[in-house]
Amino acid sequence: MKHKYGLILASLWLALVSFGAHAQLPSTVNGQPVVSLAPLVDKAAPAVVNIRVVQERRGPFGRAFESGGAGSGVIVDADNGYILTNHHVVGEADEIQVGLIDGRTLDAEVVGSDAATDIALIKVEGDDLTEMPIGDSNAVRVGDFVIAIGNPYGLTHTVTSGIVSALGRTGINREGYEDFIQTDASINPGNSGGALVNMSGELIGINSMIFSRSGGNIGIGFAVPTEIASSIMGQIIDFGEIRRGLLGVNIQDIDSEAARTLNIETEGGALVSRVFPDSAAEKAGIEVGDVIIGINDKAIKSATELRNTVGLLRSGDNVSIRYIRDNKKQTTSAVLGSAAGQMLSGADIHPGLAGASFSPASTSSESGVEVTAVEEGSPAAQRGLRAGDVITAVNRVLVRDLNDLREIARNNRILFLLIQRGDRSLMLQIR
């Protein structure tokens, strides 16, 4: 890992460690002196729940045992009992219990979960639930005061305060879609899935992870913006699954050096290096060498931004694409395809890949095939594959698409997979 500090998912699977807290209070809110944040906490805290999970595991000799973990969640729909949390908190849980601020404990079930965004939606049956209104994370500004509410180290309904330290954080060594809100409000193991709240008592982010040397807070925490969480929740409710849009391009960043080399009068955007046949991009007239600078009303400054933007839209969405060709700005429209419609089961490729599913990495800066899901305990999981991995080569042969992967695997009993995982490259052997 390139980072000086370790990256820690803020769910609780660890022993207690010492840590420092960082608390800040604004002197005024909306021009009025602030004596206490208690009224804000009184409003927001009842919507935050404590989550305890039980997961059945098997030891090296096949012996079954149970392990437990803890995290947090936020009630966002009291009528239906919907609670937002992190995928890494509940995605592999066999039993889930939710603790309310009034002392009640309710059983919960997973409605849907998405590893790529680390967002999950769970559901409880209960009366007199309190929901938290969802705010506009796009309106958040660096320097805004926020509070974090969660279950750090099992200390239920802990409240900390701080500011928004940065927006749009990417490259945090995650396999998935990144657009984090960074905050110095104390976030610790057990805070995962909890609420990042603005001064209006609105949910603006789902707390997810921290940078730390010791495992405790050092003032660098990250939350998934509600723009992403709401998009995933909506797809889960509407479809029972995630139906990501697919543009059908390979892309890369265009920096000043690339711009000079290609004689392109821009330093931002996503340079198209490949257009997939019969894709949404091809049908829209996008060509290799085009620089995509906008999707709908969102400016695109990098390949990561394009991947995130398209990946959070739904298949079938009609989108406006702004791009540069021959140093002229142009606009076209496209109907996004379905990543789900271009899936390949690992069991159909190689016995060692059983339990994994694959799709084209066509909104990635990498050519190759993306691992979209891995079943726990499957042969693919046992060999180290993770959701979000991008396979770029097999047995030293470049993998451009699903057909390449299928053809290479068909003719080889042993596979050496070159994997791109976040900012790391690694090799996995598949037998």
Task: Answer with the residue of higher pLDDT: 170 or 154.
Answer: 154
Task: Answer with the residue of higher pLDDT: 225 or 387.
Answer: 225
Q: Model confidence at 6, in pLDDT bands (50, 70, 90)?
A: low
Would the pLDDT of 343 be above 70? Answer: no
pLDDT score of 413: 86
Q: Model confidence at 278, in pLDDT bands (50, 70, 90)?
A: confident
Q: Tokens representing 227?
A: 């723009």
* Separation of alpha carbons 155 and 23, rounded Å: 17
Q: Which residue has the tokens 């609780």?
A: 12
Mean pLDDT of 253-271: 78
- Please provide the average confidence, as pLDDT, over all residues in the chain: 81
Percent pLDDT > 70 in the chain is: 82
pLDDT score of 18: 36
Give the pTM: 0.71
Annotated catalytic residue within 186, 192, 208, 367:
192
CATH topology match: 1-238 vs 345-430: no
* Separation of alpha carbons 90 and 72, rounded Å: 10
Annotated catalytic residue within 118, 184, 389, 404:
118
Task: Answer with the residue of higher pLDDT: 419 or 268.
Answer: 419
Percent pLDDT > 90 in the chain is: 31
Would the pLDDT of 358 be above 70? Answer: yes
pLDDT score of 263: 78
At 367-393, the pLDDT tens digits run 678 887 777 678 888 888 887 788 988
Q: How far apart, in Å, are the Cα atoms of 348 and each of 47, 264, 343, 409, 431?
A: 45, 43, 11, 10, 14
Residue 151 identity (one-letter amino acid) = N
Would the pLDDT of 55 be above 80? Answer: no
Of 91-105, 209-223, 344-358, 409-423, the poorest mean pLDDT is in 209-223
Most confident of 10-24, 353-367, 377-391: 377-391
Is CATH 1.10.10.60 the right assignment for the domain spanning 1-238? no
- Residue range 345-430 forms a domain whose CATH class is mainly beta
Would the pLDDT of 256 be above 80? Answer: no
Would the pLDDT of 173 be above 80? Answer: no
Would the pLDDT of 365 be above 50? Answer: no
Task: Give the domain ranges of the chain.
Answer: 1-238, 245-338, 345-430
pLDDT score of 15: 35
Mean pLDDT of 238-252: 83
Mean pLDDT of 1-22: 47
Q: How far apart, in Å, are the Cα atoms of 81 and each of 84, 87, 108, 118, 130?
A: 10, 18, 9, 20, 9
Mean pLDDT of 158-163: 90
pLDDT score of 361: 64
SS (H, E, C) the chain: CCCCCEEEECCECCCCCCCCCCCCCCCEECCEECCCCHHHHHHHHHHEEEEEEEEEEECCCCCEEEEEEEEEEEEEECCCCEEEECHHHHCCCCEEEEECCCCCEEEEEEEEEECCCCEEEEEECCCCCCCCCECCHHHCCCCCEEEEEECHHHCCCEEEEEEEEEEEECCCCCCCCCCEEEECCCCCCCCCCCEEECCCCCEEEEEEEEEECCCCCCCCEEEEEHHHHHHHHHHHHHHCCCCEEECCEEEEECCHHHHHHCCCCCCCCEEEEEECCCCHHHHCCCCCCCEEEEECCEECCCHHHHHHHHHCCECCCEEEEEEEECCEEEEEEEECEECHHHCEEHHHCCHHHCCEEEEECCCCCCCCEEEEEECCCCHHHHCCCCCCCEEEEECCEECCCHHHHHHHHHCCCCEEEEEEECCEEEEEEEC
Is 192 among the residues known to form the active site? yes
Q: Tokens representing 152?
A: 């750090």
pLDDT score of 381: 86
Q: Tokens representing 180?
A: 């984090």
Would the pLDDT of 116 be above 70? Answer: yes
* Separation of alpha carbons 88 and 97, rounded Å: 15
* Distance separating the N- and C-terminal Cα atoms of the chain: 27
pLDDT score of 364: 46
Please give the CATH architecture assigned to the domain spanning 245-338.
Roll (2.30)
Distance of CA 138 to the CA centre of its chain: 17
Q: Which residue has the tokens 């000799």?
A: 61
- 426: which residues sit within 8 A by CB, 6+ positions away? 418, 419
Q: Model confidence at 266, in pLDDT bands (50, 70, 90)?
A: confident
pLDDT score of 241: 82
Annotated catalytic residue within 88, 157, 179, 186:
88
pLDDT score of 19: 41
Mean pLDDT of 77-88: 93
Of 18-27, 285-294, 382-391, 392-401, the poorest mean pLDDT is in 18-27
At 57-71, the pLDDT tens digits run 655 555 555 567 888
- 384: which residues sit within 8 A by CB, 6+ positions away? 428
